[in-house]
Amino acid sequence: MHRINAHAEQKVVQAFISDYRRVTGKENILFKIAEAAVQEPRGLVRDVVYPAAGGVKVMIGLLEEYKAKGGSFRQARQKVFKASYTSHYRSGLLALIGALEFRSTNTAHAPVLQALELIKRYKAETTHNTQYYARGERVPLDGVVPPDLRELLYKTDKRGRPRILRSVYECGVFQTLREKLRCKEIWVTGAGRWRNPDDDLPKDFEASRAENYQALRKPLDPATFIGELREEMETELAALNETLPALDWLQIKERKNGGAIILTPLEAAPEPRNLRRLKAAVKARWGTVPTCATHAAGSSPWRPAARRPARSPTRRSRPGRRGCGVREPRRSPPIPPTSPPSTRTSSPNGIPAINAGNAAC
């Protein structure tokens, strides 16, 4: 459910950003519209309101900004969520819900459990083609369906009667179920991570409460526990408040959206002693290693870089040979020469000199 919701939110955010343009000076625009409307109460909107607001584009920008910040964004996200759920995930999630058994020790979450039983019963007795719940069916809504889905929950049937859509109701129930499972207000029978929260404690926790609290180093009285936490928090915050002004490497500047914490760059640390010793040992043993040592020593003969032969056209790209099923044998690339055509000269003492190509790096 989280993946479907995140995908829907990302899709809606991209759509809203493409149309969103922030309008500045809204109070001035509202004042100008009110002033123009009072002066000409019987005038037309296009002749009075639009010129006072600055044109039609400004009014459209105000509308888009309201949609992006108001309930329209949440409703659009729920629409995309409902479309993704109905098209791809509905059958799998319904089968998964039917195989699990949900429980809760808090009666406040009984409506969610009743909604799950309703969904299971309709899955067993009807098909996906049944869009609505039957008239007179007791469908839990309070604490089950999020407020953003309430406007999408009802649809008028052919007789003009408002009915509850099954797919939208299932979306709301599964979103609420996810939140309850995360805090273990509702748990799954036989599960590991989503098990009964009472199983997280030892079986003799109540009988050995004093020993268990002593092992945890926590007081039995909750008021004492809260008081200690509050005292510790106040002490640490006071120490932070006293220390901040004395830190020359930290600054807190004011800005519109809150304070900005600025850290100055750290100074370069001195070179480690072991690293200096390692460099000295390498230099004492091998000296300064040249960049082209192997070429300068003439240990390896110079070879020209072999060019990769051009690929012959494939069987499909050749005209008149498409689908013939005959493949030509692969041709081996030409072998490059082993040495360049250079002359070898002799030094006065009879030792052959290094080729010009070998000396070049």
For 59-98, give the DSSP string.
Answer: HHHHHHHHHHHSHHHHHHHHHHHHHHIIIIIHHHHHHHHH
**What three-state secondary structure class fits 355?**
coil
Among 134, 162, 194, residue at a domain's last position:
194
Among 174, 194, 214, residue at a domain's last position:
194
pLDDT tops 60 at residue 361: no
pLDDT tops 90 at residue 111: yes
Among 39, 69, 99, residue at a domain's last position:
69
pLDDT at 116: 94
Looking at the fold, whether 148 and 54 belong to one and the same domain comes out as no
pLDDT confidence bin for 28, thresholds 50/70/90: confident
Lowest mean pLDDT among 138-147, 160-169, 236-245, 298-307: 298-307
Instruction: Write the CB contacts of 355 (distance below 8 Å, at least 6 apart in sequence).
Output: 302, 340, 342, 344
196 HSE (CA, 13 A, CB side): 12
pLDDT tops 50 at residue 347: no
Identify whether 157 is part of a domain. yes
pLDDT confidence bin for 26, thresholds 50/70/90: low
Report which of 189, 177, 168, 94 is spatially closest to residue 143, judged by C-alpha positions.
Answer: 177
Rounded Cα distance between 297 and 292, Å, is 9
Q: Provide, rounded to the nearest whole percent, the portion of the chain with pLDDT above 70.
A: 65
- Could you list the residue range(s) of the whole structural domain that residue 146 is in? 88-194
Report which of 174, 201, 185, 176 is spatially closest to residue 103, judged by C-alpha positions.
Answer: 185
pLDDT at 139: 92
pLDDT confidence bin for 261, thresholds 50/70/90: confident
User: What total number of domains does the chain contain?
Assistant: 2
Lowest mean pLDDT among 16-20, 117-121, 145-149: 16-20
For residues 150-156, average pLDDT? 82
Rounded Cα distance between 87 and 133, Å, is 20
Identify whether 221 is part of a domain. no
Identify whether 105 is part of a domain. yes
Cite the beta strand spans of the chain per DSSP E. Answer: 102-103, 154-156, 162-164, 187-188, 250-253, 260-263
Residues 340 and 360: beta-carbon distance below 8 Å: no
pLDDT tops 80 at residue 92: yes
Identify whether 296 is part of a domain. no
Identify whether 316 is part of a domain. no
pLDDT at 76: 64
More confidently predicted of 228 and 77: 228
pLDDT at 219: 92
Q: Provide, rounded to the nearest whole percent, the portion of the chain with pLDDT above 90.
A: 18
Instruction: Write the CB contacts of 77 (distance below 8 Å, at least 6 apart in sequence).
Output: 5, 8, 9, 12, 148
pLDDT tops 60 at residue 112: yes
Looking at the fold, whether 59 and 98 belong to one and the same domain comes out as no
What is the per-residue pLDDT across 282-335, written as a single tens digit (0 to 9) for each?
999 988 766 544 444 444 444 544 555 555 544 444 444 444 444 555 555 555
For the chain, report the end-to-end CA distance as a whole number of angstroms: 62
Identify whether 120 is part of a domain. yes
Residues 146 and 121: beta-carbon distance below 8 Å: no
Identify whether 206 is part of a domain. no
Identify whether 199 is part of a domain. no
Looking at the fold, whether 168 and 102 belong to one and the same domain comes out as yes
Looking at the fold, whether 124 and 183 belong to one and the same domain comes out as yes
What is the per-residue pLDDT across 215-254, written as a single tens digit (0 to 9) for each?
889 999 999 999 999 999 999 999 988 988 888 888 777 7
